[in-house]
Amino acid sequence: MGGFPILSLMLLVPLLGAVACLKLEAPAARQVALVATLIDLALGVVLWLNFDIGGAQWQFVERHEIFAGFNYALGIDGIALVLIMLSVFLMPVCIGASWHSIEKRVGEYMAAFLLMETLMIGVFAAQDIYLFYIMFEAGLIPMYLIIGVWGGDNRIYASYKFFLYTLLGSVLMLIAMFWMVNEAGTTDIPTLMAYDFDPGVQTWLWLAFFASFAVKMPMYPVHTWLPDAHVQAPTAGSIILAGVLLKMGGYGFIRFSLPMFPEASAQFAPLVFVLSMLAVVITSLIALVQSDMKKLIAYSSVAHMAIVTLGLFAFNVQGLEGAMMVMLSHGLVSGALFLCVGVIYDRLHTREIARYGGLAINMPKYALFFLLFTMGSIGLPGTSGFVGEFLSLAGIYQVSSWVALVGTTGIILGAAYMLYLYRRVVFGEQKNADAAAMPDLELREYLMMIPLGLAVLWMGVYPESFIAPMRQDIAALDARLARVKPHYDAPLMLGKGTPAEEAHGEHAAEGGHH
Amino acid sequence: MDFAHSLSLIAPELTLSVAGLVLLLVAAWSGDKAARLISILGVTALVGCMFLVAPALCNGFMGPDFTAFGGQHRADAFAAFAKLLIYGSSAAALVVAPAFFGRLGQMRAEYPVLIIFAALGMGMMASAGDMLALYIGLELNSLASYVLAAFLRSDGRSAESGLKYFVLGALASGILLFGISLTYGFTGTTSFAGISAALSDGMSHGALFGIVFLLAGLAFKIAAVPFHMWTPDVYEGAPTPVTTFFATASKAAALAVLMRVALEAFGPQAGAWQQIVIFAAIASIVIGALGAIGQSNIKRLMAYSSINNVGFVLIGLGIASAAGASAMLVYLVIYIVMSLGGFVAILMLKDADGNPVERISDLAGLSRTRPALALALAMIMFSLAGIPPLFGFWGKFVVFQAAVEAGYVSLAAIGIAASVIGAFYYLKIVKVMYFDEPAGVVTGRSDWTLQGLLFLTALFMSPLGYLLTKWLGQLADTATAALFLAA
Residue A335 clears pLDDT 80, i.e. is over it: yes
Which chain A residues are Cβ-neighbours of B434 within 8 angstroms? 145, 148-149
CB-based contacts of A402, cutoff 8 Å, min separation 6: none
| Option in B382, B404, B467 nearest A182 (CB) | B404
| Option in A67, A145, A182 nearest B466 (CB) | A67
CA B146 distance to own-chain centroid: 16
Which chain A residues are Cβ-neighbours of B435 within 8 angstroms? 148-149, 155-156, 159
Radius of gyration of chain B from its Cα atoms, rounded to whole angstroms = 21
Q: B407: distance to nearest CA of chain A, Å?
A: 9
CA distance B286 to B419: 8
* pLDDT tens, position by position, B255-297: 999 999 999 999 888 988 999 999 999 999 999 999 998 899 9
In chain A, % helix, strand, coil (3-state, to 5) comes to 75, 5, 20
- pLDDT of res. A76: 92
Residue B128 clears pLDDT 80, i.e. is over it: yes
Task: Note whether B435 contacts A156, CB cutoff 8 Å.
Answer: yes
E strand residue ranges, A340-425: none
Instruction: Output the 3-class SS for B424-474.
Output: HHHHHHHHHHHCCCCCCCCCCCCCHHHHHHHHHHHHHHCHHHHHHHHHHHH
CA separation (Å) from B125 to A54, B137, B210, B248, B257? 64, 5, 19, 15, 6
| Option in B388, B404, B467 nearest A175 (CB) | B404
Which residues form the domain of B46?
3-486
Residue A46 clears pLDDT 90, i.e. is over it: yes
* pLDDT tens, position by position, B469-481: 999 999 999 999 9
| Model confidence band, residue A129 (pLDDT cutoffs 50, 70, 90) | very high
Which chain B residues are Cβ-neighbours of A182 within 8 angstroms? 401, 404-405
| Option in B367, B387, B430 nearest A137 (CB) | B387
Q: A137: distance to nearest CA of chain B, Å?
A: 6
Pair A178, A115: CB distance under 8 Å: no
Pair B34, B134: CB distance under 8 Å: no
**Count of CB pairs separated by less than 8 Å, A with B:** 93
Q: A106: distance to nearest CA of chain B, Å?
A: 12
E strand residue ranges, A114-209: none
A149 touches chain B (CB under 8 A): yes
| Option in A66, A68, A156 nearest B473 (CB) | A68
- pLDDT of res. A510: 45
> Which of A24, A163, A165, A225 is most worth mutating to test chain B (most B CB atoms within 10 A of its CB)?
A163
CA distance A513 to A502: 17
Residues making up chain A, counted from first to last: 514
Predicted TM-score of the model (pTM): 0.92
Percentage of residues of chain B with pLDDT beyond 90: 74
**Closest chain A residue by Cα to residue B397:** A174
Task: Note whether B469 contacts A68, CB cutoff 8 Å.
Answer: yes
Which chain B residues are Cβ-neighbours of A174 within 8 angstroms? 397, 400, 416
| Option in A69, A159, A175 nearest B413 (CB) | A175
> Which of A71, A174, A177 is most worth mutating to test chain B (most B CB atoms within 10 A of its CB)?
A174
> Is the link from the previous residue into B226 a cis peptide, with omega within 30 of 0?
yes
Residue A496 clears pLDDT 80, i.e. is over it: no
Q: B71: distance to nearest CA of chain A, Å?
A: 34
CA separation (Å) from B224 to A220, B33, B230, B312? 40, 39, 10, 10
Task: Note whether B435 contacts A155, CB cutoff 8 Å.
Answer: yes
- Kindly list the residues of chain B whose beta carbon comes within 8 Å of any beta carbon in chain A: 367-368, 371, 375, 382, 387-389, 393, 397-398, 400-401, 404-405, 409, 412-413, 416-417, 419-420, 423-424, 427, 430-431, 434-435, 466-467, 469-470, 472-474
Pair B212, B296: CB distance under 8 Å: no
Task: Note whether B427 contacts A145, CB cutoff 8 Å.
Answer: no
Which chain A residues are Cβ-neighbours of B433 within 8 angstroms? none
* Terminal CA-CA length for chain A: 27
* pLDDT tens, position by position, B343-397: 999 999 988 888 889 999 999 989 888 889 999 999 999 999 999 889 999 999 9
- pLDDT of res. A503: 47
E strand residue ranges, A160-255: none
Residue B1 clears pLDDT 70, i.e. is over it: no
* pLDDT tens, position by position, B50-85: 999 999 998 888 888 888 888 899 999 999 999 999
Of B348, B346, B352, residue with least CA distance to B429: B346
Q: Which long-range contacts (CB under 8 A, 24 or more apart) does A53-57 make?
A: A53/A78, A53/A468, A53/A469, A53/A471, A53/A472, A54/A472, A57/A190, A57/A472, A57/A473, A57/A476
Of B122, B164, B157, B161, residue with least CA distance to B142: B122
Task: Note whether A149 contacts B409, CB cutoff 8 Å.
Answer: no
Which chain A residues are Cβ-neighbours of B389 within 8 angstroms? 134-135, 138
Q: Give DSSP secondary structure letters for A2-67.
A: TT--HHHHHHHHHHHHHHHHHHS-HHHHHHHHHHHHHHHHHHHHHHHHH--TTS-SSEEEEEE--S
Of B456, B458, B319, B478, residue with least CA distance to B380: B458
Helix B469-486 vs helix B77-95: angle between axes, to the nearest 10 degrees?
120
Of B25, B213, B246, B10, residue with least CA distance to B126: B10
Secondary structure (3-state) at B67 = strand
* ipTM value for the complex: 0.92
A179 touches chain B (CB under 8 A): yes
Task: Note whether B466 contacts A174, CB cutoff 8 Å.
Answer: no
Residue A61 clears pLDDT 50, i.e. is over it: yes
Which chain A residues are Cβ-neighbours of B423 within 8 angstroms? 163-164, 167
CA distance A464 to B415: 47
Pair A7, A60: CB distance under 8 Å: yes
Instruction: Name the domain count of chain B.
Output: 1
- Backbone angle region of A72, left / alpha / beta, with phi > 0 → left and psi within -120 to 50 → alpha: beta
Task: Note whether B401 contacts A69, CB cutoff 8 Å.
Answer: yes
Residue B5's CB: how many other CB atoms inside 10 A?
12
